[in-house]
Amino acid sequence: MRGSRLADPTPTTDATSADTTALVSAARDGDRAAFGALYERYARFVHGVLLASVQGDDVHDLVQDVFFRALRQLHTLREPAAFGGWIATMARNEARMRHRATRRTEELSDQLPGPSPAPDELKLEEVLRALRALPERYREPLALRLVEQMSGAEIARTLGLTHGTVRVYLHHGIRLLREQLGEAHD
């Protein structure tokens, strides 16, 4: 479903570990609605994790790939309450696999002229390129905050970090991102 917008799925404050555990258990038993609820709750998070590492054009497809793989491998999840961390790891691995696959064809694709991006798309791509150049610990929190507009508390909960750590990562990451973008405009 390329080009379609994601719903506003995000782990919310009422999303408890017990709630996630119940949804995972039901999904394991074949309840499609339960897996749909997991998708609604975690798709925005997975989108942000992927966006921190992958070109924007591929992200929507990769979100679908991650959830399809999660559905097939749900039986391998040992601790249902750890679904958020598990699906984030799957997203990171999917991003790495995509990076490896596209790295081999990069030279050919650079030779083919494509349509010029719109000015807003160029700015977003420039920011995302700068974000991807940052140290890994800053990428995901920044993508979740800047692109997915998640709060610091939501980011902390979904990444399994303390709120203070997220604030520090966001502060330093923003500073480094500004430096990167400043150098790109000099």
Q: Mean per-residue pLDDT for 63-71?
A: 94
> Over the stretch 119-151, which tens digit does the pLDDT of each residue have?
455 477 788 888 888 998 899 899 888 888 889
With 50 as the cut, is the pLDDT of residue 107 above it?
A: no
pLDDT value at position 102?
Answer: 63
- The proportion of the chain whose per-residue pLDDT surpasses 70, expressed as a percent, equals 77
pLDDT value at position 181?
Answer: 85
- The proportion of the chain whose per-residue pLDDT surpasses 90, expressed as a percent, equals 41
**Taking a C-beta distance cutoff of 8 angstroms, is the pair 72, 66 a contact?**
no
Query: Of residues 147 and 167, which shows the higher confidence score?
Result: 167
Q: Is 186 exposed, middle or buried (0-12, 13-18, 19+ CB in 10 A)?
A: exposed
Query: Of residues 179 and 118, which shows the higher confidence score?
Result: 179
3-state secondary structure of 182: helix
Query: Of residues 55 and 176, which shows the higher confidence score?
Result: 176
pLDDT tier at 2, thresholds 50, 70, 90:
very low
CA–CA dist 110, 104 (Å, integer):
12
Q: Tokens 């080009």 sit at which residue? A: 3
Q: Mean per-residue pLDDT for 79-101?
A: 88
**H helices then E strands: how many in the chain?**
8, 0
Query: Of residues 13 and 157, which shows the higher confidence score?
Result: 157
Q: Tokens 């040992």 sit at which residue? A: 78
Q: Crossing angle of helices 152-159/136-146, nearest 10°?
A: 130
With 60 as the cut, is the pLDDT of residue 70 above it?
A: yes
CA–CA dist 175, 178 (Å, integer):
5
**Taking a C-beta distance cutoff of 8 angstroms, is the pair 48, 12 a contact?**
no
Query: Of residues 183 and 142, which shows the higher confidence score?
Result: 142
pLDDT value at position 124?
Answer: 75
pTM > 0.75: yes or no: no
Q: Mean per-residue pLDDT for 100-111?
A: 49
With 60 as the cut, is the pLDDT of residue 162 above it?
A: yes
* Rounded CA Rg of the chain: 17
**Taking a C-beta distance cutoff of 8 angstroms, is the pair 144, 76 a contact?**
no
